[in-house]
Amino acid sequence: MSENKIPYKIYLDESEIPEAWYNVRADMKNKPAPLLNPGTGKPMTAEELGAVFCDELVAQELDNDTAYIPIPEEIRNFYKMYRPAPLVRAYCLEKALGTPAKIYYKFEGNNTSGSHKLNSAIAQAYYAKKQGLKGVTTETGAGQWGTALSMACAYLGLDCKVFMVKVSYEQKPFRREVMRTYGASVTPSPSNTTNVGRKILEEFPGTTGSLGCAISEAVEVAVSNPGYRYVLGSVLNQVLLHQSVIGLEAKAALDNYGVKPDIIIGCAGGGSNLGGLISPFMGEKLRGENDYRIIAVEPASCPSFTRGTFAYDFCDTGMICPLAKMYTLGSSFIPSANHAGGLRFHGMSSTLSQLYHDGYMEATSVEQTSVFEAAEQFARIEGILPAPESSHAIRVAIDEALKCKETGEEKNILFGLTGTGYFDLVAYQKYNDGEMSDYIPTDDEIAASIAKLPKV
């Protein structure tokens, strides 16, 4: 088909929802480093991981070799409620920018949870149910993951206990109520319901919490309650695996029209949407079949890739989780309170960290005021109110399209629009009132948390 026939929205047929997830690790020569037991310094065994995570998910976490892992029929049926997700050709944005570039975005905000996180939530809840568990525990920051998991648990009849970073619990009451409506219990973190929460409160009275701290609490509750396991919405290999549906669908839609992206852009918090979006393209790159320019975009206030250190670190503040080798700012790093959006995790997926370290992808950081400028521009032109996280990718997609305007290059740009911003209106209000500011951590601040990295 010729390129000028490309519709505004490229919809796949229901039957084109992928039948298997693609595991990019299978094509990596340098595999991501294994999770280590913080006590022994040795790689975590399946048995050790099984105390915290569901068995099937442990198998997926440790599987560096199987390229395609079939998606169980029950999960595909759930996917059918909101997938395939549309791939949009941003004709209006192209016109407004006056760029010869062709811009495409994969929109993952078409479900009640409002983000891509549901793709992994349903998979993780499914395996917990299949194992005969009573329920799962987790943490949530801005609340998208907790909401997605609540929906998946409600669908499957599982109990869901969510520890929500206190500042979000207080500032984002609506997301909290969505979770409760789906039957989840939501506790602000740090709380005095766990040992680790009490310890953190004692050490840092008045703290507004962090993802790393909420993770510690959720893990403690999972391992101390029979019939419960802990689930995580980003960072882990298994989550990137589930999110590969984003990239597989995007690639199938582009392939249907003979389009090859030159640049692929995604925002990066823990790396799950980016890892999912790029996976089939990265697979071709790793196998030497095709080349793509891949850009991770992170906030200047939490710059794990661009200013972090590639080292083993804790995933949580309480230092009870396994160690992961990743680009990290140190597990005690807490982004400045004026940072409005998500993407506040101190580390990054170890799969993406290895790929970045090996030069297969680039990373850049952007300041939040310029992110909200891009969000406003996008909302007014393309009609969708984007999540602040997603808007990091919009920012860089617009910047790349404007570079094409200067050079006259007709590049194909693909970016991930991970979600909608209806629950982020306090941040939009700050921006609209001209009260949003940028905070970039100093080298000394980063060095202070890096100094506390565990010695491995």
Ligand X SMILES: *Cc1c(COP(=O)(O)O)cnc(C)c1O
* Residue 390 within binding range of ligand X, rule CB under 6 A: yes
Which one among 32, 188, 271, 347 touches ligand X, defined by CB under 6 A? Answer: 271
Residues 275-294 touching ligand X, rule: CB under 6 A, are none
* Residue 143 within binding range of ligand X, rule CB under 6 A: no
- Whole-angstrom CA distances from 309 to 48, 86, 203, 304, 305 are 27, 36, 26, 8, 8
* Residue 326 within binding range of ligand X, rule CB under 6 A: no
Pick the closer one to ligand X by CB: 133 or 268.
Answer: 268
HSE-up of residue 198 (Cα within 13 Å, Cβ side)? 5
Pick the closer one to ligand X by CB: 99 or 113.
Answer: 113
Which one among 24, 33, 133, 267 touches ligand X, defined by CB under 6 A? Answer: 267
* Residue 387 within binding range of ligand X, rule CB under 6 A: yes
Q: At what angle do helices 350-357 and 272-286 cross, to 10 degrees?
A: 50
Pick the closer one to ligand X by CB: 311 or 343.
Answer: 343
Rounded-to-integer distance, Cα 228 and Cα 221, Å = 8
Residues 121-140 touching ligand X, rule: CB under 6 A, are none
* Residue 418 within binding range of ligand X, rule CB under 6 A: yes
* Residue 424 within binding range of ligand X, rule CB under 6 A: no
* Residue 328 within binding range of ligand X, rule CB under 6 A: no
DSSP 110-143: -STT-BTTHHHHHHHHHHHHHTT-SEEEEEESSS
275 contact partners, CB below 8 Å, separation of at least 6: 24, 239, 240, 243, 244, 349, 351, 352
The count of residues interacting with ligand X (CB under 6 A) is 19
Cis omega (within 30 of 0) on the bond before 226? no
- Whole-angstrom CA distances from 2 to 42, 89, 93, 256, 292 are 54, 14, 21, 10, 22
HSE-up of residue 373 (Cα within 13 Å, Cβ side)? 12
Which one among 18, 135, 342, 441 touches ligand X, defined by CB under 6 A? Answer: 342
Only segment of 31-39, 366-374, 384-392, 394-402 that touches ligand X (CB under 6 A): 384-392
Cβ proximity of 271 and 350 under 8 Å: no
Minimum distance between the CB of residue 116 and ligand X, rounded to whole angstroms? 7
Pick the closer one to ligand X by CB: 78 or 415.
Answer: 415
* Residue 304 within binding range of ligand X, rule CB under 6 A: no
Minimum distance between the CB of residue 346 and ligand X, rounded to whole angstroms? 13
Which one among 23, 273, 354, 412 touches ligand X, defined by CB under 6 A? Answer: 273
* Residue 270 within binding range of ligand X, rule CB under 6 A: yes
β 68-70/135-140 pair status: unpaired
Look up residue 91 and give its DSSP letter. H
Rounded to the nearest angstrom, the gap between the alpha carbon of residue 216 and the centroid of all alpha carbons in its chain is 19
Residues near ligand X (CB under 6 A)? 115, 117, 144, 234, 267-274, 342-343, 387, 389-390, 418-419
